[in-house]
Amino acid sequence: MAGVDVISAETASASEAVAVGGSKLARSRRWRVRLSPVRWVRGGGLSALVFALPMLAIFTAFSWYPIVRLVVLSLQHTNLIDPPTWVGLDNFREVISDPLFLTAVKNTAYFAGLALVFGYPIPLVAAVLISESRRLRGLYSAFYEPSRVGLFNTVLSWFHLGPYGWLQSPGTAMPALVLESTWANAGTTIIIYLAALTAVDRNLYEAASVDGAGVWRKIWHVTLPQLRGVLLVTLILQIIGTAQVFIEPFLFTSGGPANSTLTVLLLVYQYAFGNSVGVGFGQAAALSLMLAAFLAVFSVIFMRLTRSWSTT
């Protein structure tokens, strides 16, 4: 009887395997039928493709082609006028061996760090204050003037301090740029936080009040956990944005004083247009690719590490 049972079990397993194989074959055949050109056209696939073609053409012309062109330029020595010459990875070697490369990387990291310390929490605090108190809605305006007779020096003069040359000193130039950048870009982040705050369940605040929680305990135990996903997104966006800082050092200091505000993108600009236009296009393209690759790898690692945080 045991042998019969074994044979029956084997027969049943074989029958199940045949059934599974048959179902897979049937699904494969149905899939091929679904993907037939006639059914695809009748199902509106051709119309969708026609409508998508302009968008694909624009995306290719303004996104993919510049990327491919950048890769090609990074492997060439060219001034965009004379015929280019292929130099392989020489542009990357020249960039890495440039003493200004490490200076630019350090300054960019310094700017990003200061922006995270000051620029990241300020919009959140401002959004919470605006959301929680109507009387404070008129307090989120200020003016930043970096000259020696500007707003900060005027306020400091009331305490018999200063005036200080904010952008003329290597020690204060970068913090001054971070302050200006924070104020210039805080508005968009505040709007994002305000929109996210509207989705927070007000019953949670009422329950916290019943438990005797104050304002700060509500913010810490109710507001911040509900904004965790938004906070992680804005964090990675701020890191990517600050790593590409260009406008502030270009307009205010041109990388000075003594290269204390030279950033990676400003170095890219100097390679391409600094001394003679077009001479350093290869180095500029190489450095741009290095920055893009770093940000891509950093973003992937960040999203993988924080995936569980944003869903719990």
* Length of the chain counted residue by residue: 312
Domain annotation covers residue 78 = no
**pLDDT of 262:** 92
228, 310 Cβ separation under 8 angstroms: yes
**pLDDT of 95:** 92
Domain annotation covers residue 79 = no
On whether both 54 and 111 belong to a single domain, the answer is: no
Domain annotation covers residue 35 = yes
Among 73, 94, 125, which residue terminates a domain? 73
**pLDDT of 303:** 84
**pTM for this one?**
0.69
On whether both 53 and 111 belong to a single domain, the answer is: no
On whether both 128 and 245 belong to a single domain, the answer is: yes
d(CA 258, CA 278): 25
**pLDDT of 287:** 93
**pLDDT of 97:** 92
Q: What range defines the domain where residue 32 resides?
A: 2-73
Domain annotation covers residue 150 = yes
Look up tokens 């741009």; give the residue.
288
Domain annotation covers residue 132 = yes
On whether both 212 and 91 belong to a single domain, the answer is: yes
On whether both 184 and 48 belong to a single domain, the answer is: no
Q: DSSP readout, 207-270?
A: HHHHTT--HHHHIIIIIHHHTHHHHHHHHHHHHHHHHT--HHIIIIITT-STTTT--HHHHHHH
**pLDDT of 277:** 59
On whether both 98 and 69 belong to a single domain, the answer is: no
Among 37, 52, 73, which residue terminates a domain? 73
Shortest CA distance to 239 belongs to which of 105, 121, 109, 123?
Answer: 109
On whether both 171 and 32 belong to a single domain, the answer is: no
On whether both 6 and 147 belong to a single domain, the answer is: no
Torsion of CA 128, 306, 309, 111, to 10 degrees: -20
311, 233 Cβ separation under 8 angstroms: no
258-291 per-residue burial string, b: 16 or more CB within 10 A, e: under 16: ebbbbbbbbbbbbbbeeeeeebbbbbbbbbbbbb
On whether both 202 and 298 belong to a single domain, the answer is: yes
Domain annotation covers residue 80 = no
CATH of the domain at 125: 1.10.3720.10
On whether both 90 and 68 belong to a single domain, the answer is: no
Give 274-292 pLDDT, tens digit per residue: 766 556 888 999 999 999 9
What is the number of structural domains in the chain?
Answer: 2
On whether both 92 and 161 belong to a single domain, the answer is: yes
Q: What pairs with residue 85 in β-bridges?
A: 77
pLDDT in tens, the chain (312 residues): 444 444 444 444 444 544 444 455 445 455 454 556 777 767 777 777 788 888 888 888 888 888 898 899 889 887 777 788 898 899 999 999 999 999 999 999 999 888 888 778 888 777 777 766 544 444 333 353 445 556 666 777 677 666 666 677 777 788 878 877 877 777 778 888 888 887 777 787 778 777 777 777 777 777 777 888 888 888 888 888 888 888 888 888 888 888 888 999 999 998 888 766 556 888 999 999 999 999 999 988 888 887 776 555
On whether both 47 and 185 belong to a single domain, the answer is: no
d(CA 84, CA 86): 7
Among 12, 39, 73, which residue terminates a domain? 73
